[in-house]
Each structure stands twice: as structure tokens, then as C-alpha cells.
Structure 1
Amino acid sequence: MDVLDLARTQFAVTGSLHFLFVVLTLGLAPLVAIMQTVGTFRGRPDMMRMARFWGQIYVINYALGIATGLVMEFQFGLSWSGLSHYAGDVFGAPLAIETLGAFFLESTFLGLWIFGWHRLSPRLHLACIWIVTLTAYASAFWIMVANAFLQNPAGAADRGDHLELVDPGALLANPMLVMALPHVIGASLLTGGFVVMGASAYRLFRRTSEQRFFTASLRFGVVVAAVGAVVTVAFGFAQFGPVGEFQPGKFDDAPLAGAGLGFMIMIGELLQLFVLFFLLPVIHWLPRWRWVHPLVMLATPLPFLAAILGWLAREVGRQPWLIYGKLTVADAMSPGLTSGMVTTSLIAFTAVLGLLAVTDYILIARTVRRGPAAVSLGAAPTGPDPAPERAAALSL
């Protein structure tokens, strides 16, 4: 492979691995917030236990995902300085707002939420997780603003050797953003719902002593996955309009993008049928139907696969352009790169991010196996987590 193909492969690998963390973070955050809201306002200890358990899984994924995001920042300086020089005034603005505003705010309030159990008032503590959720989605918005600019450089004017932002409104109302953002949000909810479903199905299939806890979690995951499936599929097809207008031939000219799109659509439709027409109608009996639980577990990785395929279709389909119609990938590369340099960084980044991904799923699997009684997040400072029998009695 030449240096250009190596640099593209490096970005694709690191971007894909990072997106695995992002899609789960965006999917779990609102679920945990809703659980805690019900537990706070309705006095439901069982829902608070759910918020703590699934919240710990969220924190694990978030903490390890931060490191993968840092690698993405290094990518622009290491391999794509031409992009920073030509479009940094436009492309860098939403990235800076995302980092300095949404991400720092999200991290701050996540810390308050993690350490604020039994220290903050219940409603103030609840407000923290909702701010975490809203700022997480604000981060997604600004990242998608930057990505939509690469797909369609709206709001920018060519000033010879660089682009200048002349219309912020056009940048924020980019047609390549309007339908893509809800699609990503729907895919995240679908992923978060399936993770909750898959973990709950695993514990119920193993005949856990926490039957009531994972029964409620399984049903909750089905409802969230159903909402996510509808939103994902609806806004996925809605994107064909702006894509056909601004990037005609996107999938015809790039066979890999077309194949990725086809598999993504197939998986999305399959998951939608599985959730809406099989799981949702039998949601009352589903926790007791052990023969269905392996099917749910097997389907759990599919939303992750669909998310990666969708990202690849969106990015590969505009080749050879990095900024569509303005800057090619070759012109965006940093000067002086050699195959050896890029190969070394590719191996290093892949090893580190791969290790983080494996560690993430090992820790999540261990948390699921240990169950809610072993959760440390939000544990009472004077003793261990209440026994399941006590929690059930309090809920009654």
C-alpha cells in the first residue's frame, strides 16, 4: 500500500474503533437518565438500582472511550495538516466548540454525578445526569456539523489557499446534517437498547436470582430499541434526498460504499422487524421465554456492525474528496510522510485502541455477570448495596 492508502486505512480503523464507544455512550446516557428520573419522582428503589447498574456500564464505556477520542485529535495533526491549513477556520470551529464547551461540560457534570450519590440532593443529582445526556448529544451535534461540512461545504467561501466561514447559519443548517443527526441518534438508542436487552437476556437465561431486576431491564431495552429502530430507519432513508442532491453517484461510483450501505440497510431492516414485530408484541412473556434469549444475545452486536458500515458508507462514498468538491484526500495529507511512518503509527494506534475496546467489553461483561448487588457506583457510604429482597420490599 502507498502512503495515501495507509493514511486512509489508519483513519478508518481508528475512527471505527472510536465510534464503537461513541454509539454506546449516546445510547446508554438517556436510558440511565430516564431510569433515575422514574426512581426519583416515583420513589422507586428498583429503578434507582437500575440507574446505578446501567450507569456503571455507561461510566466504564465513557472512561475508556475518552482515550480513543484523543487519538482522533492526533490524526489531524499527524496525517492531515493540509485539511487544517485549507479549512481549519471552518472545520476547526465546531470541533473547538465541541471540545471546549460540550465535552468539558459533560465531563464535569459526569464527575458530579458519579461522586454525588448521597451527597447532592436527589433532584440536583438527577439534574447532573440530564446535563450529561444533553451535553453528550450537543457533542454529537457539533461533530456532525463538522462532518456535514466535509460532505457539503456549506457556509464557506474560497479565499484562494483557504476557506473562510461567511455564513454560520448555512453551516448549522447544512442539508447533509439535518437528516444525518437524527439517524445517528436513532442508531445510538437502538444500540443502547440492544445492549440492555442482550445483557438482561443473558442473566435471565442463566436463571439469575435477580429475576425482577433483569425482567424490568429487558422490557425497558425492548421499548428503547423499538424507538431507536423506527428513528434510525426513517431518517436513514430520508438522507437519500440530500445525498442525491449534493453527492450524486455517491454509492454508484464507490462499490465499497454501496456494499456497506446495502449491508447496513439489511441489518437495520432486520433489527426493526425483530424488535417491532417479534419482541415488542410479546414483551410481557419475553422474560420467561428462555428459547428467545439466545436470539437476543446473538443480535446484540448487529447495531454496532450497522453503525460502522454506515460510517464507512458515508465517508468512502465521497472519495477522492476530503471536502467534497474543494479538497482532495491527497492534497489534505501532511507533507513528508513516508510509508514506514504511517505504518508504525497505524500499528500503534490499532494496538492501543484494540486493547481499549477489548478491555471495555471485558469490564462490561464482568459487571453484567456480577449483577446489580456488586455495583460500586452510588453504593451507600455506610454499607453495601441493599439486598434484592429489601429493594423489592421498599418498592412495594
Structure 2
Amino acid sequence: MSAADLARLQFAATTGIHWLFVILTMGLVPIVAFLHTRAAYTRDPARRAVRERMTRFWGQLYVINYAVGIVTGLVMEFQFGLSWSGLSKFAGNVFGAPLALETLIAFFAESTFLGMWIFGWGRLSRGAHIALIWLVALTAYASAYWIMIANGFMQHPVGYEIRDGVAHLTDFGALLANPNALLALLHITLAALTVGGVLVAGISAYHFARGSEDADQFRGSLRLGVVVGAVASFFVVIAGDLQLPLLRRTQPMKTAALEGGDVERVEARLVQEHGPGDYVFAHDWLRLSMDVMTIIGNTVSTVTLIAVFLLRKDWLVRRRPVALLMTAMIPFPFIASAAGWVVREMGRQPWIVYGELTVEDALSPVGRTSLAVSCAVFVAIFLALAVTNWTLIARFARRGPSATQLGSTEPLADEADGESAEGSGGGPGGGPGDPGGDPGGGRRVVVPVL
């Protein structure tokens, strides 16, 4: 393999694995925020207790994914300097600001709000605690916006001019309103909600299928996951189609490969505009990835839509094969999302910044041996982190709410002996860990041990 192939393989593998963390983070956090809000404003103490318990259960899965995923994000940043210094040199004046903002939001603002939410159980007022989880959701999507602005410039560069062989930003507004970035962000948002909804529905259905002692507590989560998955998976197909007219104008070879167009005519046009080059790159991979994404997307949309109607007759709860089918669907939205990422990134070859900078020109002057070693190390680290993440998520998902550590509380030594540790919160209504209770609560808050 050439140095360019090794660098591309490294970045493709690490970014693809990191993307699985990102898509679940974006899909799960609004569901957790909604569940927390609904639990906090439920008046009936018994129902509030169940809903808060489920909020902590899903919140713990989210925290695990976020904690491990952010490590992959930190490691991945080093690759820009290691393998792609040409990209930084050419597009750093444009590309750098969105990347810096994404880093500040994801690694500082989002993580700060999440930490305050984790440690705020039983300590913060109800309104403040709810505001924190919604701020976590807001910053997660703000982070996604900035990274898509950076990626959108690579896909469809706008708002710049070339001076002395370097891109300089001339129109910040055009960069922020890049249609390639905004349409992709809409598509990704709906894909993330599909992932989150199917995961919630699948884990909930699993507990009904196995007859878990906590199964009845998953009834509300099952409904929410099925509805979110059905709505999001329906509109994600529409959002994907909205990108095609823009791609036909800005990346004609990609659409020609995907739609069976006249590839030779498009290649001749690109040679005339940009000079000789390999413009017919990996078209078989593009079509295969597009087919995988389309088939899975339509299947998930159909199954979740049918599941919405099955909820009315309680078949998802009573029919074990149907419940197991929902559980078996969990990995498929992840696969579809990864296939969509392949279509987006591979389809603009040979460019790293479309029409301006090729992959070969962006490559750092690093030897094949160094790239081979770094590729092996990076991929091994990312695979280890992915296995760790999914092992932890699967373990806590199987154990159910009874084993949840996030937000649970323990009585202090001077409390009455017979008082339940889960009945903390000290607020009106006496619900367990009531976020509207006394900020101190006379208890210690237990955070998850990963």
C-alpha cells in the first residue's frame, strides 16, 4: 500500500468508529432530556418514581457512550497534523475556526454541562437540573453543526479565495450557510434519532422478551423509542433525497456513479476543468454503500411503522418473537449510518477539498513505515475502545434499572434506619431522587462506575 492509502485507511477506520459513538450520542441525549423533563413534572409520586428511574437508566447508557466516545474524538484530532498537514496548510484559515469551535463546545461546554447534570441529582433544583440536560443536548447538536460546517467546506467550498496557494476566508456568512453542510446536518440529525429510537425500543423489547422483573418499567420507553424511530426513519429518507439536486451540480461524478449516469462524459468534463486525474474512484463501493443505506433505511422505517400499530394491541409486549425482532434491529441503523458516511466521503475523490486540493497534495511528508505503525496503533486503540463501550452498554442494558448507579443515592449515617436509599430527594411528593427536592437532600449522590 502507498503512503496515501495507509493514511486514508487510518483516517477512514478511526473516523468510522468514532462516528458510531457520535451518532448514538446525538440520538440518545434528546430522548434522555425528554424523559427527565416528563419525570420531573409528573405529579403522581409512583409514576414519577418509575419515570425518574428510567431516566437514570437511559442516562447511564448515554454517559458511558459519551465518556468512551470523547476519548476517540481526542485521539482522532492528532491525525490532522500527523497525516494531513497539507490540508491544514491550504485550508487552515477557513477550516480551523469551525474545528476549534467544535472542540471547545464538545470537550468543554458539553462535558461541563454533562458533569453538572451527573452530580446534580438530589442537589440541584428541578428547573436547573432539567436545564442542564437540555443544554447537553443543545451543545451536542451545536458541536455537530460546526463539524459539518468544516466538512461541508471540504465537500463544497464556499466563501473563500485563493491567495498564494492558500485558501482565505472572505465570507463567513456563506460558510455558515453552506447548503451542503445544512442539508447533511438535517440528514444526520434524523439518522441519529433513528439510531436512538431503535436502541431504546430494542433494549426495552429485550426486557419484555426475557421476562425481566423490571419489564413493566420499560413500557413507556418502548413506546417512545418506537415512535421516535418510526418518525425519524421516515423523514431521514426524504432528507437524503433533498441532497441530490445539490450534489448533481457540485459533485457530478458521485451522482453519476450512484444513479447510473454517463460516467465517461462526466469524467471528460472533469478532466477538461481540472486536468488529468482518477475521477472514477471506487464506484462499486459507492453503489454498494448506497444500496446498504437505502435498504436498511426503508426496512427500519417499515418495521418501526408497523410496530407503532402493534403497540395499540400490546403485541410488542405479549409476542416474544416480535419483541426479539425489535432487539435484533439495534445494529442496523448504525450500519446504515456508516454506509452513508462512506458515500459522503468517498464520493468526492480524488479531492480532499473538492476542486481545490487533492488527497495526494494534502498528505504529510511521512514515510510508509511510520504511517503503517500509526495506522496499526490507531486502529487497535479505537477497536479496543469500541469493544469496551459496547461491552459496558450491553452489560448495564441487560441488568436493567435495578442496577443503575447514575443519580442513585445512599443514606447518611444519621438517617433513620428504615428509610430507602432510593427514596431520596427530600422534595414534595417524596419521589425517589426527586430533582425538585432539597438541593442537599441529606444524601450522597452516587455516580456510575465505568
**TM-score class, shorter:** over 0.9
CA–CA distance in structure 2, aligned partners of residues 269 and 238 of structure 1? 16
Q: CA deviation at 1:371?
A: 1.1
Identity over the aligned pairs, expressed in percent?
49
Aligned to 1:283: 311
Once the two structures are superposed, residues 287-309 of structure 1 have per-residue CA deviations (whole angstroms, 9 ceiling, x without a partner) of: 22211022112211000000110
Contact 2:190 2:233 (C-alpha < 8 Å) held by counterparts: yes
Aligned to 2:438: none
Aligned to 2:113: 109
CA–CA distance in structure 1, aligned partners of residues 36 and 124 of structure 2? 14
Aligned to 1:248: 252
CA–CA distance in structure 2, aligned partners of residues 5 and 386 of structure 1? 58
TM-score (norm 2): 0.84
Aligned to 1:362: 391
Find 1:353's aligned residue among 369, 382, 385.
382
Find 2:102's aligned residue among 77, 98, 101.
98
CA–CA distance in structure 1, aligned partners of residues 27 and 62 of structure 2? 9
Aligned to 1:213: 217
Contact 1:103 1:136 (C-alpha < 8 Å) held by counterparts: no
Find 2:292's aligned residue among 237, 256, 263.
263
Does 1:306 pair with 2:343? Answer: no
Amino acid at match of 1:340: T
Amino acid at match of 2:350: P
Q: CA deviation at 1:42?
A: 2.1
Which segment is superposed worse, 131-140 or 201-210?
201-210
CA–CA distance in structure 2, aligned partners of residues 64 and 385 of structure 1? 27
Amino acid at match of 1:130: W
CA–CA distance in structure 2, aligned partners of residues 358 and 145 of structure 1? 30
Aligned to 1:28: 28
Amino acid at match of 1:127: A
Contact 1:195 1:300 (C-alpha < 8 Å) held by counterparts: yes
Which segment is superposed worse, 294-303 or 309-318?
294-303
Contact 1:151 1:324 (C-alpha < 8 Å) held by counterparts: yes
SS in 2 for 1:202: helix
CA–CA distance in structure 1, aligned partners of residues 103 and 30 of structure 2? 21
Q: CA deviation at 1:102?
A: 4.8
Structure 1 residue ranges, 4+ long, deviating more than 4 angstroms after superposition: none
Aligned to 1:198: 202
The alignment of Structure 1 onto Structure 2 pairs a total of residues equal to: 389
Once the two structures are superposed, residues 107-128 of structure 1 have per-residue CA deviations (whole angstroms, 9 ceiling, x without a partner) of: 1110000001011111101100
Does 1:343 pair with 2:406? Answer: no
TM-score (norm 1): 0.95
Aligned to 2:17: 17
CA–CA distance in structure 2, aligned partners of residues 42 and 215 of structure 1? 16
5 Å matches for 1:57-136?
57-136=61-140
Once the two structures are superposed, residues 290-341 of structure 1 have per-residue CA deviations (whole angstroms, 9 ceiling, x without a partner) of: 1102211221100000011000110000000000000000000001x12211
Q: CA deviation at 1:373?
A: 1.2
Amino acid at match of 2:388: T
Contact 1:155 1:171 (C-alpha < 8 Å) held by counterparts: yes
CA–CA distance in structure 2, aligned partners of residues 24 and 385 of structure 1? 28
Once the two structures are superposed, residues 338-371 of structure 1 have per-residue CA deviations (whole angstroms, 9 ceiling, x without a partner) of: 2211111111111111111111111111111211
Aligned to 2:359: 329
Amino acid at match of 1:76: F
Amino acid at match of 2:186: P
Aligned to 2:141: 137
SS in 1 for 2:254: coil
Q: CA deviation at 1:255?
A: 2.7
Contact 1:194 1:300 (C-alpha < 8 Å) held by counterparts: yes
CA–CA distance in structure 1, aligned partners of residues 196 and 349 of structure 2? 31
Q: Which runs of 5+ in 2 are unaligned?
A: 258-279, 412-419, 425-429, 435-450
Q: CA deviation at 1:249?
A: 1.8
Which segment is superposed worse, 73-82 or 191-200?
191-200
Q: CA deviation at 1:380?
A: 2.2
CA–CA distance in structure 2, aligned partners of residues 45 and 314 of structure 1? 44
Which segment is superposed worse, 303-312 or 212-221?
212-221
Q: 1:101 to 1:300 in 2, by over 3 A?
A: closer
Q: 1:230 to 1:314 in 2, by over 3 A?
A: same
Find 1:53's aligned residue among 32, 57, 64.
57
Amino acid at match of 1:77: G
Contact 2:410 2:422 (C-alpha < 8 Å) held by counterparts: no
Aligned to 2:272: none
Amino acid at match of 2:308: L
SS in 2 for 1:163: strand
Once the two structures are superposed, residues 45-97 of structure 1 have per-residue CA deviations (whole angstroms, 9 ceiling, x without a partner) of: 22211110000000000000011101220110100000000000101110111
Contact 1:373 1:386 (C-alpha < 8 Å) held by counterparts: no
Once the two structures are superposed, residues 172-225 of structure 1 have per-residue CA deviations (whole angstroms, 9 ceiling, x without a partner) of: 111211211110000100001111111112111110111221222111110111
Aligned to 2:5: 5
SS in 2 for 1:291: helix
SS in 1 for 2:408: coil
Q: CA deviation at 1:384?
A: 3.9
Q: 1:386 to 1:371 in 2, by over 3 A?
A: farther
Larger Cα-atom Rg? 2
Which segment is superposed worse, 224-233 or 313-322?
224-233
Once the two structures are superposed, residues 242-301 of structure 1 have per-residue CA deviations (whole angstroms, 9 ceiling, x without a partner) of: 11111012141433122211211111111111111x111111312222110221122110
Amino acid at match of 1:10: Q
CA–CA distance in structure 1, aligned partners of residues 61 and 129 of structure 2? 18
CA–CA distance in structure 2, aligned partners of residues 209 and 365 of structure 1? 17
CA–CA distance in structure 2, aligned partners of residues 225 and 45 of structure 1? 26
Aligned to 1:385: 422
Contact 1:197 1:221 (C-alpha < 8 Å) held by counterparts: yes
Amino acid at match of 2:146: W
